[in-house]
Amino acid sequence: MRAEVLATDAALRALAPEWEALWRRAGDRATPFQSPAWLLPWWRAFGTGRARVAALRGGDGLLLGLLPLYLLEEGHETKLLPIGVGVSDHLDALLDPDAPSGAAGRLLAAALADSPEVTSCDLLELPPGAALRDAPAPPGWDDGGAQPAAPCPVLELPPGAALPDVLSRKRRASLRNARNRAEAAGGLTVQTATADTLDGCLDALFALHRARWDARGEPGGVLADPRVPAMHRDAAPALLALGVLRLQVLRLGGIPAAAHCALVSGGRVLLYLSGFDTSRARESPGAILLGELIAWAVAGGMRELHFLRGDEDYKYAWGAVDRFNASRRLSPPARAP
């Protein structure tokens, strides 16, 4: 094996086809948050630092592993951080199923060796089972180990389950009543985005998300930073082409009342972003749409629905249970005076 570190935007763009092929081979070991369809748009929107992307190749040149990091200077500090940080709920090294043991450690060591100016390396949002949770730090580096981070509630969907096995009788009755109210209030339709309708569905999602958070006194929610919606518009076509984006809009009487964006791969549905019209609370459009997503996931044999970071009460009301991400901070060996 040989490791190399890519440090230019041109090198990252050139790597994209191999990166996507590696992501596909990784299968259910990876999430869409590790794909170039997600991380390259992140880099275009947020990449104000210097790339340090470690790549591991086998003797035949096949890309076996990738660790996308970047250097960010803040005051007197130079931090090594994951590309995708902030808006990605799960991050990790991307590894081929046939990558040898120790591959994640090799990637980490290569990135650190190529970044002598680093004052800290933060490995963030590592989900359970992430290779970087246990990858050894290079000799001399101080490592506090994996520390608990954000709760990420998950609704398990047992193999062969039907909807009554996943949602309680009370929840199913509540959804039926909500649908009846919605039909009486002008009828409901659910649209799933295609390449032709993607822009309009994104418009509806962003408007509903902003309106919900404006009503809570937090203008814009996660979309308050204009780089976030710009990144999503950049990423959405490639995610849709990969078959991992499920973007839906529910309309009441023809008017958007709820929307959500989910990422789907490896038997998991990752509910990433949502919004609903608070003035239509009586019809519960957000709950109806989430119920539709869960029914679709169960019918499709999905194993889990992830509500991602945050411990909001509604997640547990649907039956989700906590899993916890982890973080690690590595500090370099003391430098000689």
Alpha carbon of residue 295 to chain centroid: 21
Residues 84 and 116 in one domain: yes
Between the alpha carbon of residue 159 and those of residues 28, 301, 304, 307, 310, the distances in Å are 16, 7, 10, 19, 26
Residues 115 and 177 in one domain: no
In a domain, 280, yes or no: yes
Over range 129-147, report the average pLDDT.
94
Tens-place pLDDT, residues 2-31:
999 999 999 999 999 999 999 999 999 999
Residues 118 and 198 in one domain: no
In a domain, 30, yes or no: yes
Over range 202-218, report the average pLDDT.
93
Please tell me the predicted confidence (pLDDT) of residue 103. Answer: 97
Question: How many angstroms separate the CA atoms of 157 and 224, rounded?
Answer: 34
In a domain, 84, yes or no: yes
Residues 302 and 160 in one domain: yes
Please tell me the predicted confidence (pLDDT) of residue 336. Answer: 43
Across the chain, what does the average pLDDT equal?
A: 95
Tens-place pLDDT, residues 51-81:
999 999 998 999 999 999 999 999 899 999 9
Please tell me the predicted confidence (pLDDT) of residue 144. Answer: 86
Does the reported pTM lie above 0.85?
Answer: yes
At 89, which CATH number? 3.40.630.30
Residues 55 and 183 in one domain: no
Residues 286 and 159 in one domain: yes
Residues 145 and 173 in one domain: no
Residues ≥6 apart with Cβ < 8 Å to 22:
63, 64, 65, 66, 94, 96
Residues 126 and 232 in one domain: no
Residues 123 and 227 in one domain: no
Residues 201 and 128 in one domain: no
In a domain, 249, yes or no: yes
Q: How many CB atoms lie within 10 A of CB 278?
A: 15
Range of the domain at 112: 2-150+325-331
Locate 214 and state its tokens.
Answer: 């404006």
Q: What is the DSSP string of 170-201?
A: HHHHHHHHHHHHHHHTT-EEEEE--TTTHHHH
Is a pLDDT exceeding 50 seen at residue 337?
A: no
Residues 32 and 164 in one domain: no
Please tell me the predicted confidence (pLDDT) of residue 335. Answer: 61
Residues 129 and 196 in one domain: no
| pLDDT > 70: percent of the chain | 99
The total domain count for the chain is 2
